[in-house]
Structure formats: structure tokens, C-alpha cells
């Protein structure tokens, strides 16, 4: 035990090891934070998409990416009726509410979309609502009017009639400067725009609340995808999933491989022969096609994939390597001594043979983790990712399907790829340093 601690202390002398450990520490910290902040079931629910994301823009890039380039692309603004005061006029049998949803718009780029979400409470009789757009220059534009039954989404941007009337898509046509010279290149009229809701209620008790969403073109740290989902969820949840997959697969394969190799060496005879033949057969079986087959024919659950990866990894080339290292150890006098003072087979294998190989195993094990992380990502990119879990590979898969690079959504590919590379880099740097600490003969090379 003390020797391991001393080994860890030695690691401090390798800057690459320190950097690697910091990277791993960051990833572990992120994982812990993620699992606490977004519980598993909530993450699955969020990633399934749908109504959670209705107030997020589609394919918005990260805020920092735009600000770094000196842009002022708009972020999403949500104007809620709860935050404004409505003018109320009573009349026999009902009320008239005038709700001004005003917002200050300063960006030089148009928003990506305009939507209005209306909710009617406490009334059986649907109110009538008229939508009037008031521009900063004092001009007014009546968008239309309709009866609102209960919960309603008014897709202003998809109002074809309005679009025809304005000559532009509504979120441009409503917000452009009419005085700007070239109508084919409209400019934003900055200032306070107001969406005035003129509501007539046929009831005394009922009320109406509304959210005007002025969708931006940038969003958060990670941006959003084609389903309006915040990529942050997938990037964050991808971390614990990737680390768990890599770690479990690496532990599962290396430890079982080592113990099985040691059993073969210790018991010899048919045990050894069986293990060796199994290994030789397994070594010529291609792993990826088998995984693709399992994924296609059976299930793409990440835990099933993990099981298959571990199962195929047990009888791998590692068995041959460990066998070669263990054969001379088997004949060591201390093993004979252990037998002579009564140590049983299990004890000799686990306490006397395996520890001799551990110094070689640990660096291999650490550098093995990212290969499994990459394997999981590759499977996801191939479309065999877990159907419900948000992972880095799934993000890449979506990006590929939506032609992200062709469409210029670089952030969609770069951020999961960067996290994958950081993971690989962190474990590789630590692994190489561990190799030098535990196998000192390499140090002089």
C-alpha cells in the first residue's frame, strides 16, 4: 500500500501527470456536479425533447463563440404578462384587458423566431384576443385576432398571411426599420418593441397570461440543436456516462483478463489449454462488427454494449501478454514457499502472482480507459448509441445527421469532440507518467 502512495508522490515530478490528473479531476468534478444538478431521470426526460425546450431557439450557437468574434447576436428574450401591468376595463358580462408585452431590442441582427404562448385560466368561455405590434417609431401593425380556448401557441413566424403582407418573414418584417434603404437587406429598428394583447373576456373571473418569446440566435455555453435542446445537458451528462463506461469496461476487462491468465498459468493442463484456445478464437473475431450486429439485432442500450465489450475483452490479447509475464513468476521460489506453508490456489493466484504484474497493469489500465470512451462514442456516431441517454457520441451523431458542418454549426461538432479529446489526453498523460513511475527501467530510455 505504501509503495503505491510513494508511486503517487513520484507522479508530482511529471508535469504531464499533473496536467493529466487535473483534466481527469475536472471531468470527475463535472460528472459529480452533473449527476447532482440534473438527476438521471430528469436528464432522460429533458433529452427526450418536446415541451421543455419550446422557449429555446433552434440551432443557436454558444454565446461565447459569437462574442469572441465581436458579434452581438441576440439572446432569447421572454416577456411574461406577469411582469407587466395590464389595463383593465370592466363592462357588463365581461372585461377588456390590454396587456403590453414590451421589450428593448438592441441587437443588429434579427431574432430567429417569434412565438406567443397564451394560457387562459378560470373560464369556460374562450376570450377573444387581438395581437397588435407596436414598433419603437410609433407605427402599429395588427397581426390578427382569434378566440383562445385554453393553452395556445401563436406561431407569429409561421403566419403566412402576415408574411405576405409584410413582404418578409414576420420576425423580420415586424422589427425592421422601414426607413432603411434596401428592402432586400432589412435593418433592425432598435428600441422598445411591444406586442399589445387586446383581450376581451366574456367572464368576470377568468384571466389570461401570456409569454412572448423573442428567440435569439445564440444560447448559453453550448448552444442548442435542431430540436431546441440545450446541448449543455448532453455535454454534461456525457461526462459521467463516458467515464463510467470507460472505467467499468477497463476494470472489467483488465482485472478479469489478468485473473484468468493467472489461473491458466497456475493450474496448467486443460485449464490453460481451454483459456488459450478461447483467446485465440476470440482474438480473430472483429469486435466492432459484433457490436454493430448486437446493436442492430438486439438492443443499443449502453449497458448491454458495455456487457458485450467486457465479454469480448476478457479473452483478448492481454491474456497472452499476462501469461508470458506470469509463467516465470509461477516458478519463483516464493511461490513454492507459499505452497509449502499452506497457501491455497486462490491465495497464490490473487496474492502472490497477480501483484507481481500490477505495476505493468496499472498504466495499461489507465491508458485503456479512453479507448473504451472512444469506442462508445464511435458506436453512437454509427447510430448505435443508447436510445435514451444523452452522450457525446449521440450529439455527434445528431450533428452528422443534420449536416452540422455543412450548415456551419461548428459548435455542434467541436464541443463534444473537444471533451472526448480532453478525456483521451488526460488519461493518456497520466498513463504514460504512471508507466514511467511503475516501470522505472523505461526512465533511462
Partner 1 sequence: MNRDTTAETLLEARDLHTWFELRQWGFLRAGHVRAVDGVNFALRRGEAVAFVGESGCGKSSLARTLLGLHRPTRGEVVFEGGHLEALDKRGLKTYRARVGYVQQDPYGALPPFMDVGRILSEPLIIHGVRDRETRQARVRAALEEVRLTPAESYLSKFPHQLSGGQQQRVVIARALVLEPSMIIADEPVSMLDASVRVEILRLLRNIQVERGLTLAFITHDLSTVRHFAERIFVMYGGRIVEQAEVNELLDHPQHPYTQALLAAIPDPDPDNADREHAVPGGEPPSLANPPPGCRFHPRCPEAMAGLCDRDEPPDFEPRPVHLSACWLHR
Residue 358: CB minimum distance to partner 1, A: 8
> Strands, DSSP E only, in 45-127?
77-80, 87-91, 94-105, 113-121
332 binds partner 1 (CB under 8 A): yes
Instruction: Pick the binder of partner 1 from 29, 49, 161, 355 (CB under 8 A).
Output: 355
Residue 361: CB minimum distance to partner 1, A: 13
Residue 336: CB minimum distance to partner 1, A: 6
**Smaller CB separation from partner 1, 70 or 333:** 333
Residue 266: CB minimum distance to partner 1, A: 14
343 binds partner 1 (CB under 8 A): yes
Nearest 10 degrees: Cα torsion 109, 104, 83, 47: 20
277 binds partner 1 (CB under 8 A): no
What would you report as the CA-atom Rg of the chain, rounded to the nearest whole angstrom? 31
Instruction: Pick the binder of partner 1 from 344, 406, 444, 445 (CB under 8 A).
Output: 344
- CB-based contacts of 211, cutoff 8 Å, min separation 6: 55, 78, 79, 80, 81, 116, 117
Q: What is the largest CA-CA distance in the chain?
A: 105
Size, binding site for partner 1 by CB under 8 A: 20
φ and ψ at residue 346, rounded to 5 degrees: -60, -40
**Which one of 114-122, 152-160, 354-362, 417-425 is the stretch in contact with partner 1 (CB under 8 A)?**
354-362
- CB-based contacts of 374, cutoff 8 Å, min separation 6: 420, 424
2 binds partner 1 (CB under 8 A): yes
3 binds partner 1 (CB under 8 A): yes
Residue with cell 496474492: 351
Nearest 10 degrees: Cα torsion 346, 350, 354, 356: -110
Q: Report d(CA 362, CA 438) in Å as an integer.
A: 8
347 binds partner 1 (CB under 8 A): yes
Residue 319: CB minimum distance to partner 1, A: 20
Instruction: Pick the binder of partner 1 from 88, 324, 337, 346 (CB under 8 A).
Output: 337
334 binds partner 1 (CB under 8 A): yes
269 binds partner 1 (CB under 8 A): no
Q: Closest Cα to residue 46, out of 218, 327, 234, 212? A: 234
Residue 359: CB minimum distance to partner 1, A: 9
327 binds partner 1 (CB under 8 A): no
Q: Closest Cα to residue 325, out of 293, 357, 352, 301? A: 357
**Which one of 228-236, 313-321, 352-360, 373-381 is the stretch in contact with partner 1 (CB under 8 A)?**
352-360
Q: Per-residue string for binding with partner 1, 115-144, x by CB under 8 A? A: ------------------------------
Q: Report d(CA 149, CA 201) in Å as an integer.
A: 11
SS3 2: helix
9 binds partner 1 (CB under 8 A): no
CB 87 within 8 A of CB 251: no
Residue 229: CB minimum distance to partner 1, A: 51
**Smaller CB separation from partner 1, 297 or 340:** 340
**Which one of 72-80, 344-352, 370-378, 387-395 is the stretch in contact with partner 1 (CB under 8 A)?**
344-352
In this structure, which long-range contacts are made by residues 359-363, counting pairs with CB atoms below 8 Å and at least 24 apart in sequence? 359/438, 359/439, 360/325, 360/438, 360/439, 361/254, 361/258, 362/434, 362/438, 363/431, 363/432, 363/434, 363/435, 363/438, 363/439
342 binds partner 1 (CB under 8 A): yes
Q: List contacts with partner 1 (CB under 8 A).
A: 2-3, 332-334, 336-344, 347, 351-352, 355-356, 358
Amino acid at each position: 500500500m505504501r509503495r503505491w502512495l510513494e508511486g503517487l508522490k513520484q507522479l508530482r515530478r511529471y508535469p504531464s501527470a499533473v496536467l493529466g490528473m487535473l483534466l481527469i479531476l475536472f471531468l470527475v468534478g463535472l460528472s459529480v456536479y452533473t449527476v447532482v444538478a440534473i438527476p438521471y431521470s430528469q436528464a432522460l426526460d429533458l433529452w427526450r425533447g418536446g415541451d421543455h425546450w419550446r422557449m429555446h431557439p433552434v440551432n443557436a450557437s454558444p454565446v461565447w463563440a459569437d462574442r469572441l468574434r465581436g458579434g452581438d447576436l441576440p439572446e432569447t428574450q421572454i416577456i411574461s404578462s406577469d411582469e407587466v401591468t395590464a389595463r383593465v376595463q370592466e363592462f357588463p358580462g365581461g372585461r377588456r384587458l390590454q396587456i403590453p408585452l414590451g421589450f428593448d431590442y438592441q441587437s443588429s441582427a434579427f431574432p430567429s423566431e417569434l412565438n406567443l404562448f397564451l394560457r387562459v385560466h378560470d373560464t369556460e368561455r374562450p376570450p377573444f384576443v387581438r395581437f397588435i405590434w407596436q414598433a419603437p417609431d410609433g407605427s402599429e401593425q395588427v397581426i390578427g385576432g382569434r378566440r383562445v380556448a385554453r393553452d395556445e401557441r401563436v406561431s407569429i413566424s409561421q403566419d403566412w398571411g402576415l408574411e405576405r403582407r409584410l413582404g418578409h418573414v414576420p420576425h423580420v418584417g415586424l422589427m425592421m426599420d422601414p426607413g432603411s434603404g434596401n428592402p432586400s437587406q432589412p435593418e433592425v429598428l432598435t428600441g422598445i418593441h411591444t406586442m399589445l394583447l387586446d383581450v376581451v373576456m366574456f367572464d368576470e373571473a377568468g384571466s389570461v397570461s401570456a409569454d412572448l418569446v423573442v428567440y435569439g440566435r445564440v444560447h448559453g455555453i453550448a448552444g442548442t440543436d435542431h430540436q431546441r435542446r440545450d446541448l449543455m445537458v448532453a455535454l454534461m451528462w456525457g461526462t459521467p456516462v463516458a467515464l463510467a463506461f470507460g472505467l467499468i469496461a477497463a476494470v472489467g476487462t483488465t482485472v478479469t483478463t489478468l485473473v484468468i491468465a493467472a489461473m491458466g498459468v497456475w493450474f496448467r493442463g486443460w485449464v490453460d489449454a481451454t483459456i488459450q484456445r478461447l483467446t485465440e478464437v476470440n482474438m480473430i473475431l472483429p469486435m466492432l462488427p459484433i457490436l454493430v450486429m448486437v446493436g442492430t439485432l438486439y438492443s443499443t442500450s449502453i449497458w448491454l454494449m458495455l456487457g458485450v465489450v467486457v465479454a469480448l475483452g476478457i479473452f483478448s490479447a492481454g491474456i497472452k501478454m499476462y501469461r508470458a509475464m506470469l509463467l516465470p513468476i509461477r516458478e519463483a521460489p516464493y511461490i513454492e514457499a507459499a505452497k509449502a506453508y499452506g497457501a491455497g490456489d486462490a491465495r497464490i493466484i490473487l496474492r502472490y502472482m497477480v501483484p507481481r504484474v500490477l505495476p505493468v497493469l496499472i498504466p495499461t489500465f489507465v491508458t485503456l480507459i479512453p479507448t473504451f470512451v472512444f469506442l462508445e462514442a464511435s458506436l453512437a456516431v454509427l447510430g448505435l448509441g443508447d436510445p435514451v441517454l444523452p452522450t457525446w457520441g449521440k450529439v455527434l451523431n445528431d450533428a452528422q445527421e443534420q449536416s452540422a458542418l455543412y450548415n456551419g454549426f461548428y459548435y455542434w461538432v467541436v464541443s463534444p469532440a473537444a471533451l472526448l479529446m480532453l478525456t483521451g489526453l488526460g488519461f493518456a498523460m497520466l498513463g504514460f507518467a504512471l508507466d514511467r513511475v511503475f516501470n522505472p527501467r523505461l526512465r533511462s530510455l
